Amino acid sequence: MMSCITAVMDREKALGQMLPSWTRVEKIKDFVIVDWSSKKPIIDNLTIQDQIKKYKNIKIIRVENQKYFYRCLAWNLAFQNTDPKNKILLKLDGDYMNINPSWIDCLRLTEDKLLDDYFITGASEFMSSSFGFLLVNKINFNKGYNENLRPIWGFEDYDLYKRIKREPCLEQSSKNWDGLNQILFFNIKNHILHLDHSEEERHQNTEFKDLIIKEKRGITLKEKWKNALKNKSLAEHLPDWKTSKYKVLEETEFYKRVELIKN
């Protein structure tokens, strides 16, 4: 039915809290976690090991030798390793804890009834840190996040939503129009808890980290918005991209270790 993905870099504590809250959700049939070069490999975490043994539907993909967390590549890699039998994608940030899954039952999803003409996202007006949530048919996720964007904070979600909105409806839909409706998860706080963390934790493994240090010294963060605008410009002027490729270094049923192949 549903594949769930997340990606982390040195966020072991949050992942250890969030994962057990989602693996017991019945409609989630496989869960893929990308470990983007964490200093301590996620697979060594005892909570993660316990969850793999208990549910046997979790796969860890570890990417070696990366200095910065590249969210677009990490989420796309997770998506590429989901089970193709499951037609719906639930994308979550690694600090989203499930506190009430009743919203899934409200959708009345079955193997025959998917998300034919809409997709669901978080919205900042309802929860400030809600861009990490996305529920969409895999066919409409298409290539996923734009890998032309720089590995910094800014604009990747807006760009993805804009492209999904342009996707034509599934052929079996009775609708005769193109494009999908974006549905905002307005009561998301009643169902998902965003685990607290500092700004340093948010940006500790990004190129944006140095700007956080400057802010503490009284220097403005105008550069932050310049970087977001750079990504906006890249998305508009370089709308297509080649999906990154990886060399497999090690693979078992529940674990894969890879290295990014430079273009």
pLDDT tens for residues 151-186? 776 788 989 999 998 866 555 455 555 678 999 999
What is the mean predicted confidence (pLDDT) over 233-253? 91
Its pTM stands at 0.88
List Cα–Cα distances, 7 to 12, 73, 211, 218, 233, in angstroms. 11, 10, 23, 32, 25
Residue 135 pLDDT level (bands cut at 50, 70, 90): very high
Decide: 138 and 89 in contact? Cβ < 8 Å. yes
Query: Would you call 107 exposed, middle or buried from its count of C-beta atoms within 10 A (0-12, 13-18, 19+)?
Result: middle
pLDDT tens digits, 137-148: 999 999 999 999
166's CB contacts (< 8 A; 6+ apart) are 178, 179
Return the pLDDT at 124: 79
Q: Is 88 helix (H, G, I), strand (E, B) or coil?
A: strand
Sequence spans of domains, the chain: 2-261
What is the mean predicted confidence (pLDDT) over 249-261? 96
List Cα–Cα distances, 143 to 154, 166, 207, in angstroms. 19, 13, 24
pLDDT tens digits, 110-128: 877 888 889 999 887 777 7
218's CB contacts (< 8 A; 6+ apart) are none
Decide: 160 and 79 in contact? Cβ < 8 Å. no
Q: Which architecture does CATH list for 2-261?
A: Alpha-Beta Complex (3.90)
Could you list the beta-strand ranges (E) of 163-223. Answer: 181-184, 192-194
Question: Higher pLDDT residue, 129 or 61?
Answer: 61
Q: Which tokens belong to 127?
A: 């929860």
Could you list the beta-strand ranges (E) of the chain. Answer: 2-8, 28-36, 58-64, 88-91, 96-98, 118-121, 134-137, 181-184, 192-194, 245-251, 255-261
List Cα–Cα distances, 95 to 111, 191, 195, 253, in angstroms. 29, 14, 5, 25
List Cα–Cα distances, 136 to 2, 109, 229, in angstroms. 10, 12, 26
- Give the span between the Cα atoms of 42 and 45, in whole angstroms: 5
Decide: 103 and 126 in contact? Cβ < 8 Å. no
Q: Which tokens belong to 37?
A: 């070069």
- Give the span between the Cα atoms of 47 and 23, in whole angstroms: 12
- Give the span between the Cα atoms of 154 and 262, in whole angstroms: 23
Return the pLDDT at 126: 77
